[in-house]
Amino acid sequence: MFYNRTKDQVVEELQSNEQKGLHQSEIETIRAKCGTNELKEEKKQSIFIKFLLQFTDPLIIVLIAAAIISIVVDPHEWIDSLIILVVVVFNAILGVAQENSAEKSLEALKKMSAPNTKVIRNGERYTIPSRELVVGDVVILEAGDLVPSDGRILESYNLQIDESALTGESLPVNKISDVIELENCPLGDQKNMAFASTVVTYGRGKMIITTVGMENEVGKIASMLMSSEKETTPLQNKLAQISKVIGVMCLGICVIVFGLEWMSGLTILESFKTSVALAVAAIPEGLATVVTIVLAIGVTKMVKNNAIVRKLPAVETLGSASVVCSDKTGTLTQNKMTVVKTFTAKNGIEDFNGEGNVDVREMMKCFTLCSDAELKFENGETKLLGDPTETALVEASFKMGDKKEDLYMIAKRGDEIAFDSTRKLMTVFYDTEDGVLSITKGAPDVIMAKCINTPSDASDANEKMANQALRVLAVAIRRWKEVPVLLDASEVENQMTFVGLVGMIDPPRPEVKVAIEEAKQGGIRTIMITGDHVTTAKAIAQDLGILNEGQKAITGTELSNMTDEELYTELEKISVYARVAPEHKVRIVSMWQSKGHVVAMTGDGVNDSPALKKADIGCAMGITGTDVTKGAADMILTDDNFATIIHAVREGRGIYNNIKKDVQFLLSSNIGEVITIFGASVISLFGFNLGVPLLPVHLLWVNLITDTLPAFALGLEPVDKDIMKEKPRPKNESFFAHGLGFTIAWQGLMVGILTLTAYIIGNNVNHEIGMTMAFMTLSLSQLFHAFNIKSTHSIFHRTIFNNKYLWGALAVGMALQIIVMYVPGINGIFNLVPLDSQYALISLGFALCPIVIVEIVKLFKNHIFKK
């Protein structure tokens, strides 16, 4: 382990030079041996492979088989086969295009930040892309730099690194160059090492690269992600089940109808044509396309609301989430230390909101002057540079009207005694009009012990703020005639005058509390998982409403000591997990899943990535999230806002409801078509040769035009305003639960009987009129039936006008229907004849019947059965 060796030993082992770095001639040799400083990605499928995979659906296979056999048996009937193949290819192209679009969104996010690194080579300083680093490179680290790879610290001048992305610890770590003797040292305690994807917040230093790419700690986590398989989502599973059921039923019914037609005296060729028509009737060709487009539209809406979805079905998955496991730092909180409490002898403990009395303002001036942080304005934005604790002090002083540069005009900064972890203090000297002033800030108990006027209640105030999970600092001053010749800390930091205390915390995001309450109303449990201290985690969780009475918080150590059986039993009682490791997060997610819950996991750090991949849906932060985290996630929140997740849940629930409406609409239509053809075949057995009521081209037209247009419109139904008051769907709930399967069956039977009746009436005149009446009845009944399905309320409910797309679909569908039936040439392609007013009105009357029938059923369900 490099942390167990001296820096000289590490430099010698890596055959480098601390002062001059590597020689340019060595770079390529080392890179060939150790690889590049990049994370490997899972091999992407080619567009051709993606295209072929679109044809694995059972329904698509049946359609292709029907088209091929049809053209082989009767080459003259090539139009129907061509239309079927065109439909299949169009669906495949649409699927590939949508998949590529999602991948490009992720690539764009990755390119938003391509970090560079300051490196010493040949004794000179260069700035190079981080991916070009090799083992043995000597890298310069300064405040604001992203650590480019794992390495051993060679020099540290007050160097502090924020490792929250890797360890979950919210406070920066003080880095050293000394040897660490401890064996098997935890990652968070390897203070002489720096790790890729962490950020330098304060000071400066120098490191030598020890590993690159997949060998880094980040790379090891990336390997975990690549080795784990992603489970399919509930929507994918349910649609696959529907496809299999329809496929099996389709083949079975086709065989039966073929036998019935052959038994009634028709030839094998005529019987086969009827079977092909039935296959086309049974398969909802537009279902896959409609579902894909409805999901795509939902994704587009979510992008406008700061959420990028990488996989379309993930929208629905989030909508069915019942547990959200959230990282604390940067997700529930602002990832920015903020002053929230103050204490002065005169005023006691007060809430800090940017306003305050003279004593508080003077205290904040002292804290600001005794810091190295800066507040700058660039391009109209305020930027805080330096240690998070010190930037919080400078920002608090600025809120009270004091800029640090203005304070320097009053007092000129001189010598200082730097902070160290042993003294826990920092002292700065200033030249003022009243002589030399020393300002000391640091640990409250240390400062109070060295002051001559510590208030009696200061110690109680310190304890009270600490119990609220605040990080407490004290400040004191001392006046001098001149700066001491020897800056001896034990002499200088003594006999001081106590000024006051501040309490700081990484505060919750203001919108998160409301979002968590809304989630709670929707039956969604929020769990906090963090690498931070348990006291801090509990305070934040209680404030947000995550940790309630009867629930508890535990640490990663306590979790490790629990067996799976114990955790399974206690799981419902635990709302907060603190000081956890990446494997703990995966275990927590897995345990909730074992209880039948759909789990969403949010996070921004590399340490969150395995859990994001394991969860049913992983939500990564787009701003603070690492590339590894984004690659593991199903959804990326571009505003790093927890509230966006709840909006996505709402959108997901709405999309799922709309897809159920589409499935109900399309399947009832297809069942109606099957009943029409199957019914005619059965009647033919009794000596009434009715022929084929509808040709494949008619059925394709209905399935792709007059059905698909309203289906798209139903997919755009506005989300119900009370949808977040509903409980999440059970993970294993059938897609046809709550009577949906029965509803589809009887509505399909209704459409089939009406269509077959219209056909029989027209067929008594001649076959062409009968076929045209059946075609008109089936097409128009579907256009009208869409209004029945848009809501469980009456068609005359006030929401009837809230979907302009549905009215547009009705108008366009009827116009197309008139063109197909009455325009010469076009009606010939479809084997249709113009209907006179008598038969047209009969067909229209049958088409309107579904509205009357469904209205009666709704009346019984909504009024009589509720009493």
DSSP-assigned states of every residue in 18-29:
TTT-B-GGGHHH
Q: What does the pLDDT read at residue 170?
A: 64
> Helix or strand or coil: residue 595?
coil
Spatial separation of the C-alpha atoms in residues 533 and 201, rounded to whole Å: 20
> In angstroms, how far is the first alpha carbon of the chain from the final one?
74
- What own/partner pairs with CB < 8 Å and gap ≥ 24 does 734-739 have? 734/238, 735/238, 735/239, 735/241, 735/242, 735/660, 735/663
Percentage of the residues of the chain whose pLDDT score is greater than 90: 35
pLDDT-based confidence at residue 786 (cuts at 50, 70, 90)? very high
Spatial separation of the C-alpha atoms in residues 373 and 368, rounded to whole Å: 8
Asked if 498 contacts 458 with a C-beta cutoff of 8 angstroms, the reply is: yes
Q: Which helix (H) or strand (E) holds 179?
A: none
Check if CATH label 3.40.50.1820 holds for domain 2-34+135-211. no
Place of tokens 């076929």: 771
Backbone φ and ψ of 691, nearest 5°? 75, -160
Q: pLDDT at residue 110 above 50? A: no
Q: What does the pLDDT read at residue 113?
A: 38
pLDDT-based confidence at residue 756 (cuts at 50, 70, 90)? very high
pLDDT tens per residue, range 584-634: 888 999 999 999 899 999 877 666 777 888 898 888 887 766 666 776 788
- In this structure, which topology does domain 236-304+648-864 adopt according to CATH? Calcium-transporting ATPase, transmembrane domain (1.20.1110)
Q: Which helix (H) or strand (E) holds 82?
A: helix 78-110
| Pair of tokens at residue 47 | 């567009």
For residue 645, what are the CA distances in angstroms to 518, 662, 799? 11, 25, 27
150: annotated active-site residue: no
pLDDT tens per residue, range 683-702: 877 767 777 888 877 877 88
Q: pLDDT at residue 867 above 50? A: no
Q: What does the pLDDT read at residue 168?
A: 66
Domain 338-505 classification at class level: alpha beta
Please pick, among 80, 137, 327, 616, the residue that the annotation labels catalytic: 327
Place of tokens 């129907």: 80
pLDDT tens per residue, range 474-533: 999 999 988 888 788 888 999 999 999 999 998 888 889 999 999 999 999 999 988 778
- Single-letter amino acid, residue 112: M
Q: What does the pLDDT read at residue 645?
A: 87
pLDDT tens per residue, range 543-599: 999 999 999 999 988 999 999 999 999 999 999 999 887 778 889 999 999 998 999
**Superfamily name and number for 316-334+510-645:** HAD superfamily/HAD-like (3.40.50.1000)
Asked if 614 contacts 589 with a C-beta cutoff of 8 angstroms, the reply is: yes
pLDDT tens per residue, range 269-296: 777 767 776 776 677 766 766 776 777 7
DSSP 737-755: TTTHHHHHHHHHHHHHHHH
What is the greatest pairwise CA distance in the chain? 122
Q: Model-level pTM greater than 0.75?
A: no
pLDDT-based confidence at residue 647 (cuts at 50, 70, 90)? confident
For residue 619, what are the CA distances in angstroms to 404, 792, 856? 39, 33, 45
pLDDT-based confidence at residue 465 (cuts at 50, 70, 90)? very high
- Single-letter amino acid, residue 482: E
* Region for residue 691 given its phi and psi (left: phi exceeds 0; alpha: psi -120 to 50; beta: otherwise): left
- Single-letter amino acid, residue 346: K
- State the average pLDDT over residues 208-229: 75
Q: List Cβ neighbours of 371 (8 Å cut-off, separation of 6 or more).
A: 386, 387, 390, 393, 394, 441
Q: What does the pLDDT read at residue 73?
A: 64
More confident call, 65 vs 753: 753
Of 112-116, 145-149, 374-378, 819-823, which range is least confident? 112-116
pLDDT tens per residue, range 143-167: 768 898 999 999 988 888 888 767 7
3-state secondary structure 30-51: HHHHHCCCCCCCCCCCCHHHHH
Q: List Cβ neighbours of 436 (8 Å cut-off, separation of 6 or more).
A: 414, 429, 430, 479, 480, 481, 482, 483
Q: pLDDT at residue 230 above 80? A: no
How many residues are present in the chain? 867
Asked if 311 contacts 634 with a C-beta cutoff of 8 angstroms, the reply is: yes
Q: pLDDT at residue 314 above 80? A: no
**Residue (of 437, 452, 461) closest to 366 by Cα position:** 437
Asked if 424 contacts 453 with a C-beta cutoff of 8 angstroms, the reply is: no
Hey, where are the domains in the chain?
2-34+135-211, 236-304+648-864, 316-334+510-645, 338-505
